[in-house]
Structure 1
Amino acid sequence: MLGCASAELDVLVDAGLPFEERAGVRHFDPNDLYNLGMYSGRTTTQPELAFRMLFRFTRRPVEELLRRKSWSFRLRLECPECAGPAPWHVAEPDVARFGGGLADVTAPAAGAGRAAYAATVTTTGARTPLVSPALRALVADYLGAGHRWQMLPVAMQADFRLVHALGATSCVAASLLLADRFRGAGFEAEARRGWFCGVLGGALDLPHACVEVLDEDGVLKSIDIAKAQLAARLSADTEEFRELCLGSIHNKAIPSTASANAPLARHACGSRVPVEVRSDIRAVR
């Protein structure tokens, strides 16, 4: 992942890179390695190469992100320590509010262990930039604060105050913090969990969230703050995409019915271990 020799890895360990030793073998947290590679400045680590490839679309004209697009949407659900047959509860795609739609829905039946959810999801884009000066000022303040986007454990992202106190951020933590600040300024706002699709053939499975806020013009706006941050880090010529992320809707985002700090699925069997959710979202050609 880092493309470095053992001697360089020793230097990183001496400098504080955490690891656990098991039977004489060093085991590193994948989030730590990803973050280290992402900000190494070498340009050749796997995280840096993947980042440039995944976000290359942000440098293109945004009209492609505004048209209607259909997705083959699949979720695989697993209850790791299942206590027996019970109903499944899934946070479904919630796209109708932004002009999209659901079709061919197959919801999971009550059962044990594993289940699946499937649907055809249609998304569309719309230019609805933020109009409230107060909202735009809060967004600008956040973007100017210099928080560093990082891969973080899912449970940690919900503690958005701790994450930002450490100088870090993620799409979930950033959305929760912005929603909190918007409400503090008197606006109706909620951070929503969802999916970012159309990359790596559906294989990218990362937590994602946006902020939904009722602007002073009475229109519900979606703010994909993390994507704006990451696009700015990629290149200065991503300004059109970054502006689209600040209030407008694009067809690569699928919001769910879950808030940003809530699970995407539950199994009512009584197990205390969270359900594991894996997504596979592919464009319908």
Structure 2
Amino acid sequence: MTDAKPSARSFCSGGLTVSRPTATEGVAWEKVANSIEFIPAEFSVRDQPESVAQEMLRCGPEEIDRLIDAGLPFERRSGVRCFDANDLYNLGMYSDSGKTQPELTFRLLFRFARRPVDDLLRAKEWDFRVSLECVDCPEEAPWRLEEPDVLRFGGSVAGVTRPSVSRGSAGFTATVTTTGARTPVVSPVLRRLTGEYLDAGYRWQMIPVPMQAHPDRVHAMGATSCIAASLHLAESFRAAGYRAEAKRGWFCGVLGGALDLPHACVEVEDDDGAVKTVDIAKSQLAARLSADTEQFQELCLGSIYNKVIPSTASGNAPFGYHDCGSQLPIRVHTDIQAVR
């Protein structure tokens, strides 16, 4: 079972308030399309209508025509051209127009990475809510959620409400407290392997969660993503003789909880005997944002910070299950709001 993918509408409007930029006239969309890799058909879900594509990319029908001519895959649904949300996000992200919703979202999302990191090391409370939906549910059955796993990192979980036996849908709520600590990786080998991956030239792209479970497929596109990178790096660490595992979790404070993004990192036992967290994707994204994010990039190489809630799920495992016997994946959506 896998988790529900984010909708393109969440990139466009879900809780994000920005002034509407002018249209992206003058963008060489053919060049942008050639610079990214579109999601392979076996992993693609083309359900975002053209109106969403136009809003997301700040363009009109003519630009969409140009993108289709340049290879953007689409399907017709009830006479409307529909696209994969990941393809749209990646086009906007690499348009270099400064006006698309993905670009604006990215700047807002990572603006904290340019600030001093001390604020990321203090205790922080989160109102943590998960909705679980079984879309083809034949009967009542227990639910299972890979819950927040913060106690071993100095955090706490209180006010937990777990799902009871039911049919169709359920929920999990809790107040989760996270904290941060500077625990940089000390092993020269681990640092070298991490640096080699960062220097390999893979371009970060939005990739469907099922595809991220196959790092070789992602890397063959010249791309990377948090789950794929973590799975690959964990394997590299193990090959070098270290105990390591890719783990899933939640990246908090994402547009006021409106954007549900998959997240993964590597937990590895360092030369000093301590378990360190290598958050390679966030380090890579921060570096793309600005050269003045060195403090945060270093924090990602071993330390923990309060914007991430780790879970008990392994790197390529789903967050939730329903034991009803349905063969369809359940949908898992998180809403994580900072407690003021």
The normalised TM-score by structure 1 is 0.98
The one of 317, 321, 340 aligned to 1:262: 317
Q: Shift in Å at residue 173 of structure 1? A: 0.7
**Alignment pair present for 1:230 and 2:281:** no
Structure 1: runs of 5 or more not aligned: none
The 2-side partners of 1:59 and 1:278 are apart by: 29
Structure 2: runs of 5 or more not aligned: 1-55
**Alignment pair present for 1:192 and 2:247:** yes
SS of the equivalent of 1:52 reads helix
Q: What's 1:3 paired with?
A: 58
Q: What's 1:32 paired with?
A: 87
**Alignment pair present for 1:171 and 2:226:** yes
The 2-side partners of 1:225 and 1:29 are apart by: 26
Letter in 1 for 2:76: E
The 2-side partners of 1:82 and 1:23 are apart by: 27
Q: What's 2:182 paired with?
A: 127
Q: Shift in Å at residue 281 of structure 1? A: 0.7
The one of 151, 171, 174 aligned to 2:206: 151
Q: Shift in Å at residue 165 of structure 1? A: 1.5
How large is the Cα RMSD of the aligned pairs?
A: 0.9
**Alignment pair present for 1:78 and 2:133:** yes
The one of 195, 202, 205 aligned to 1:140: 195
SS of the equivalent of 1:109 reads coil
**Alignment pair present for 1:42 and 2:42:** no
Letter in 2 for 1:112: R
The 2-side partners of 1:177 and 1:113 are apart by: 35
Q: What's 1:57 paired with?
A: 112
Q: Shift in Å at residue 159 of structure 1? A: 0.7
Q: Output one character per residue of 1:66-91: Cα deviation in whole Å (capped at 9) or x when no partner.
A: 00111111100001111210000110
SS of the equivalent of 1:97 reads helix
Q: What's 1:117 paired with?
A: 172
Superposed counterparts of 1:233-244, under 5 Å: 233-244=288-299
SS of the equivalent of 2:318 reads coil
Cα distance change, pair 12–190 in 1 and its aligned pair in 2 (3 A): same
Q: Shift in Å at residue 245 of structure 1? A: 0.6
**Identity within the alignment, %:** 68
Q: Shift in Å at residue 23 of structure 1? A: 4.1
Letter in 2 for 1:172: I
Q: Output one character per residue of 1:214-238: Cα deviation in whole Å (capped at 9) or x when no partner.
A: 0010010001111101100000000
The 2-side partners of 1:77 and 1:23 are apart by: 29
The 1-side partners of 2:80 and 2:333 are apart by: 29
Q: Shift in Å at residue 25 of structure 1? A: 2.3
Q: After TM superposition, where is structure 1 displaced by more than 4 Å over at least 4 residues in a row?
A: none
Q: What's 2:257 paired with?
A: 202
The normalised TM-score by structure 2 is 0.83
**Alignment pair present for 1:213 and 2:268:** yes
Superposed counterparts of 1:245-260, under 5 Å: 245-260=300-315
Aligned length: 285
SS of the equivalent of 2:249 reads strand
